[in-house]
């Protein structure tokens, strides 16, 4: 195989997207995704069992579609990479079992890799050149993290994360409260356009001095997030209008809620970049599509002198291309395959970029 430009097939099944992507070096050849999102709409959130059932049915057709798009056969593939975690356990197991069967049947090496680092790894595709050391902000239905990437294949550190809900989960829950449907991110973003983001002052989680501390003497939650208090505050606000028999100002609440989320995420992320001397930040995860998040993050990065990289939206949501992208970096860097015996790890830490044999 070409070790500089390996052809890697990536498999993703950690949540509700079944993804198979193919990458040659840093060039994306295919990115087939089958989503079960429509099946979760009536529940207002991802139902793990529904997601896992859908992965089983979608896997082989999605694999076929990726190969067709790339105009390749399995013989052309040098290695296979699969998300081993973090994610929903039952969903991860479908992708990992499929990947192991594929690796065994084709005789190709298999790499079990970290989903969060793959969100960052997608940044190398399409000619984007990242500096050796940079930061990443991941915001999605399943995660909210600030990372420091010293080496994509060897050294990734978690600077901060949510201690309760992911940002996307908070969006889903608030969207339900406001009767805006699922997924909450786009629904709230849309409703917020006609609203006043200063109408209500909702709490910014973990922003009190006792949690934040100072740069020299950082508090325990300086870079961490919490969205459960915010969600409760929105619920109280809605109840208040209901009890008074008044119409609920949906647009104003949506805009004010979104402002609270985006304000705390961007301020904490930018501060973490500055304090860690990181001059580039990559934004990833499905909530990267949120217009207000991008706007405020761009503004705050600009004033702090930080370069902002946002991959195309189809590569920000969960997909197989990002798994293949990180896989190709690992192969090119001479990483050892993970073998066929590894287990899924629903809370795999970012420090574990690839599972070792």
Partner 1 sequence: MPNYLSIDTSAHASVALIDADTGAVIAAHTSPKGNDQTETLAGYVRDLMADHGQQGPELAGVIVGVGPGPFTGLRVGLVAARTFGFVWQVPVHGVMSLHALAERVLELDEIPEEFIVASDARRKEVYWATYNRQGALTDGPHVAAAATLPALPVYGVGAGIYEEALREAGAAPQPESFAWIAESAYLAKHGLKDLAAGKDLSNTAPQYLRESDAQVPAFMKQAQAKEATA
228 annotated as belonging to a binding site for a ligand: no
Which residues have C-beta within 8 Å of that of residue 232, sequence separation ≥ 6? none
Out of 97, 133, 161, 267, the residue judged to bind partner 1 by CB under 8 A = 97
| Candidates 151-159, 201-209, 219-227, 338-346; binding stretch for partner 1 (CB under 8 A) | 338-346
The residues with which 55 forms a beta bridge, in sequence order, are none
| Candidates 100-108, 152-160, 308-316, 324-332; binding stretch for partner 1 (CB under 8 A) | 100-108
179 annotated as belonging to a binding site for a ligand: no
213 annotated as belonging to a binding site for a ligand: no
State in angstroms the smallest separation of the CB of 110 from Zn ion. Answer: 21
Cis status of the peptide bond prior to 351, with omega within 30 of 0: no
Query: Quick count: other Cβ atoms within 10 Å of Cβ 164?
Result: 17
List for the chain the helix, strand, coil content (%; round to 5). 45, 20, 35
For the CA atoms of 343, 349, 351, 353, the dihedral, rounded to the nearest 10 degrees, stands at 40
Per CB under 8 A, does 100 bind partner 1?
yes
User: CB under 5 to 8 A by kind: which of Zn ion, partner 1, none does 318 bind?
Assistant: Zn ion
User: CB under 5 to 8 A by kind: which of partner 1, Zn ion, none does 44 bind?
Assistant: partner 1
User: CB under 5 to 8 A by kind: which of partner 1, Zn ion, none does 302 bind?
Assistant: none
Helix 184-192 and helix 167-177: axis angle, to 10°? 60
143 annotated as belonging to a binding site for a ligand: no
Question: Tokens representing 242?
Answer: 């209901």
Out of 12, 78, 172, 318, the residue judged to bind Zn ion by CB under 5 A = 318
167: enclosing H helix or E strand: helix 167-177
Residues 139-178, one symbol each (x = binds partner 1 by CB under 8 A, - = not), give: -------------------------------------xx-
Binding site for Zn ion (CB under 5 A): 140, 318
């Amino acid at each position: 195989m070409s070790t500089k430009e390996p052809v890697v097939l990536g498999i993703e099944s950690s949540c509700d997207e079944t993804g198979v992507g193919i990458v040659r070096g840093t060039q994306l050849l295919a990115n087939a995704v089958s989503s079960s999102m429509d099946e979760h709409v009536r529940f207002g959130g991802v139902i793990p069992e529904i997601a896992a059932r859908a992965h089983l049915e979608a896997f082989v057709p999605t694999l076929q579609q990726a190969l067709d798009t790339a105009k390749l056969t399995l013989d052309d593939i040098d290695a296979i990479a699969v998300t081993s975690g973090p994610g929903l356990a039952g969903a991860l197991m479908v992708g990992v079992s499929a990947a192991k069967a594929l690796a065994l049947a084709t005789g190709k090496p298999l790499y079990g890799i970290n989903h969060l680092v793959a969100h960052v790894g997608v940044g190398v595709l399409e000619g984007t050149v990242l500096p050796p050391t940079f930061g990443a902000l991941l915001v999605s239905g399943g995660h909210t993290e600030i990372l420091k990437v010293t080496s994509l294949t060897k050294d990734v550190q978690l600077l901060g994360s949510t201690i309760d809900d992911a940002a996307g989960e908070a969006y889903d829950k608030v969207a339900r409260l406001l009767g805006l449907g699922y997924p909450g991110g786009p629904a709230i973003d849309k409703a917020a356009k006609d609203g006043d983001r200063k109408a209500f002052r909702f709490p910014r989680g973990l922003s009190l001095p006792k949690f934040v501390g100072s740069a020299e003497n950082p508090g325990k939650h300086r870079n961490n997030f919490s969205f459960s208090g915010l969600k409760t505050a929105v619920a109280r606000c809605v109840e208040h209008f209901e009890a008074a028999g008044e119409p609920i100002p949906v647009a104003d609440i949506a805009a004010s809620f979104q402002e609270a989320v985006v304000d705390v995420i961007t301020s904490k992320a930018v501060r973490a970049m500055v304090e860690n001397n990181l001059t580039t930040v990559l934004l990833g995860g499905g909530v990267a599509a949120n217009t207000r998040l991008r706007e405020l993050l761009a503004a705050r990065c600009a004033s702090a002198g930080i370069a902002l990289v946002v991959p195309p939206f189809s590569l920000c949501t969960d997909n197989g291309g990002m798994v293949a992208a990180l896989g190709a970096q690992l192969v090119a860097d001479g990483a050892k395959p993970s073998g066929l015996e590894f287990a899924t790890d629903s809370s795999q830490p970012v420090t574990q970029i690839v599972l070792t044999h």
